[in-house]
Amino acid sequence: MLSGRRLDLLNPSPMDVEIEDIAHGLARVARWNGQTLGPNAFSVAQHSLVVEQLVGALKPALAVEMRLASLLHDAPEYVIGDMISPFKAVLGDDYKVVEARLARAVHQRFGLPGDIAPAMKKLIKKADLISAWLEATELAGFSHAEADQFFIRPPEGAGEIDMTPLSPSDAQGAFLKRFAEILEELDACRGAA
């Protein structure tokens, strides 16, 4: 990693996870394998910001820890990249094991449970599929009818979401800024307890 940390992919340690490495990597990983409109790819970092925003819109009273979990939902991709779901299925359980170990290390590094509760996973997945619908229709050339077959159309009241792809440096900066905001809010909640 650029931080100088060495991350063991088969046995990742939370102590080797740095948010700067995550933000840097995710800002340079393209969703849709870069097959999107515009001068910049839509990065996993920006997708993560959209998912966190959608999770907040879907469940406004959600605990701050779970907002952090939603922002970090694709954090393992800073190491292993973004693969489309059909390809993940071909790779099978070995891929899932590596991804789960990385996710656990990331969660533990930032004070989250190693494994996220099933209800929370379901909420994040719903927001993930809504983001994918927006990406598909606004950036990847899908019609609404095509996107409806694979993803979830945004519900009324989901709010306005800017899907303009950011440059890698802007996506990295926005990701780090939101991470810092959530941590500040989390520290305030823990201080009040």
pLDDT at position 193 = 58
Task: Say if 75 falls within a structural domain.
Answer: yes
Residue 50 lies in domain: 14-185
Q: Domains in the chain: how many in total?
A: 1
Which of 76-85, 101-110, 182-191 ranks highest by mean pLDDT?
101-110
Return the higher-pLDDT residue of 7 and 49. Answer: 49
Decide if pLDDT at 55 tops 90: yes
- Which residues, at least 6 apart from 18, have a Cβ–Cβ distance to it below 8 Å? 1, 3, 5
Task: Look at the pTM and tell me if it is higher than 0.85.
Answer: yes
Identify the CATH number of the domain in which residue 52 sits.
1.10.3210.10
Task: Say if 162 falls within a structural domain.
Answer: yes
Tokens representing 141? Answer: 């050339």
Give residue 80's pLDDT band: very low, low, confident or very high (50, 70, 90).
confident
Task: Say if 191 falls within a structural domain.
Answer: no
Looking at residues 130-158, what average pLDDT do you find? 93
Residue with tokens 């970090």: 72
